[in-house]
Amino acid sequence: MKLAIVGATGLVGQEVLQVLAERNVEFDELLPVASARSVGKSVEFKGTSYTIIGMEEAVALKPDIAIFSAGGSTSLEWAPKFADVGCVVVDNSSAWRMSPEHKLIVPEINGESLRIDDRIIANPNCSTIQMVMALAPLHKNYKIKRLVVSTYQSVTGTGKAAVDQLMGERNGTPTDPVYPHKIDMNVLPHIDVFMDNGYTKEEMKMVNETRKILGDDSIQITATAVRLPVMGGHSESINVEFHQDYDLDEVRTLLENTDGVVIEDDVANNVYPMPVNAHQKDDVFVGRLRRDDSSPNTLNMWVVADNLRKGAATNAVQIAEYLAASNLVY
């Protein structure tokens, strides 16, 4: 197995390397790939230094799997070139997510839909992944009618420059801003660009990707995505209306028995999911489970996950593991 990490120097690329090490993923050769300005530099993996190579060299080496974390435009240009030499691309950008020809995969939910001819596989948006992880078992049992979600998202979702902006503002050493306003001691109801319908792209990603992953276009979804001056993970307040009534104890049991989901819901002892506790963990944490007394068949929940882990790097690595274990790599 020859594994390429495209965008190896970025926040997600570095997280991918860490996840690979932690999970002891087996492969024979590692190819760290980055933009021209990083070629010749090195990255560390399990105590060994690896020299970063460029795109053309990586394609010529014909990796078996390439995990892309280099942005949409890079993926649109280069993912097909990798696929043409027999590589399976697992892409972290939004480039292929809503393409009818490409699968949008969360392994625990729809990994079984992958086939040998899937050469470019889309990794969902970080906010979508954690939400569908909590909702998929409930949709299977009760069928979701409508979702109302508000997100509280970490600056790490924007990248290193956003982390630098936050810490620079906090420490009095300002950097070039990536947000249109100050982020420290502030809240921005604005993630990605605004669209003609008044929603942002981030909000519409959650709408469209959720329907695609759950395989149900009938689900009514509305989202508000908000950036907070926090690091460690994204939080979501989710109000979900089902077509049929549910039993709250059964909901807890379903979630407790879902791989990758952890219940933290003991309000008597102030136990509920928080980004500070989700940081560097691969699970999706669910709490504040309670009935919505204002609407029938409706549940409130609070969902938190590290957006760089299950929301990006871990899910991508899990897809690669699934491909290898299912003999979907040639």
Say which of 87, 102, 139, 234 is annotated catalytic.
234
**DSSP 3-state assignment of 215?**
coil
State yes or no: is 87 an active-site residue.
no
**246 vs 115: CA distance, rounded Å:** 35
**3 vs 316: CA distance, rounded Å:** 12
State yes or no: is 126 an active-site residue.
yes
Residue spans of beta strands (DSSP E) within the chain: 2-6, 29-33, 42-45, 48-51, 65-68, 88-91, 120-122, 144-153, 220-227, 234-242, 261-263, 284-291, 298-305
- Compute CA distances 67 → 9, 71, 152, 212, whole Å: 13, 12, 27, 21
Q: Is 120 exposed, middle or buried (0-12, 13-18, 19+ CB in 10 A)?
A: buried
The answer to whether 54 and 36 are in contact (CB under 8 A) is yes
Say which of 102, 126, 139, 279 is annotated catalytic.
126
The answer to whether 31 and 58 are in contact (CB under 8 A) is yes
**159 vs 153: CA distance, rounded Å:** 12
Q: At residue 15, what are phi and psi to the nearest 5 degrees? A: -70, -35
Q: Which positions are annotated as active-site residues?
A: 126, 234
